[in-house]
């Protein structure tokens, strides 16, 4: 196997893994968003102290999940484009 073929195969595999993981995270995000919404509603608009810290932490994690999905989708696109051009 030539180095170019090997590289193309590796990049393609990484792109496919990124796409698969992104899809899994998207499914997780849907459930996670619902959970955060339920927690926020249960704690109410008057959450303070530890309650507010929980809400803030969950919302921060929610943003990080969104960022991870976007990064993985971009990685999958870039790998796919690169593999097609080699």
Alpha carbon distance, N-terminus to C-terminus of the chain: 14
Is the pLDDT confidence value at 65 over 90?
A: yes
pLDDT value at residue 66? 98
pLDDT, tens digit, 9 for 90 and up, residues 24-34: 999 999 999 99
Residue 82: both structure tokens together: 């690169």
Mean pLDDT of 2-14: 95
In sequence order, which residues have a C-beta less than 8 Å from that of residue 11 and are 6 or more positions away?
A: 79, 82, 83, 86
**Size of the chain in residues:** 86
Contact 43, 55 (CB under 8 A): yes
Domains in the chain: boundaries? 3-81
User: Is the distance from CB of 34 to CB of 1 less than 8 angstroms?
Assistant: no
pLDDT value at position 1? 72
Q: Is the pLDDT of residue 4 over 70?
A: yes
Which pTM value belongs to this model? 0.87
């Amino acid at each position: 196997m030539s180095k170019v073929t090997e590289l193309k195969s590796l990049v393609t595999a990484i792109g496919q893994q990124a796409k698969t993981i992104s899809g899994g995270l998207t499914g997780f995000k849907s459930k996670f968003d619902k959970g955060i919404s339920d927690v926020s509603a249960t704690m109410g608009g008057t959450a303070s102290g530890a309650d507010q810290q929980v809400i803030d932490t969950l919302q921060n994690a929610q943003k990080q999940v969104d960022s991870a999905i976007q990064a993985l989708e971009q990685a999958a696109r870039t790998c796919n484009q690169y593999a097609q051009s080699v």
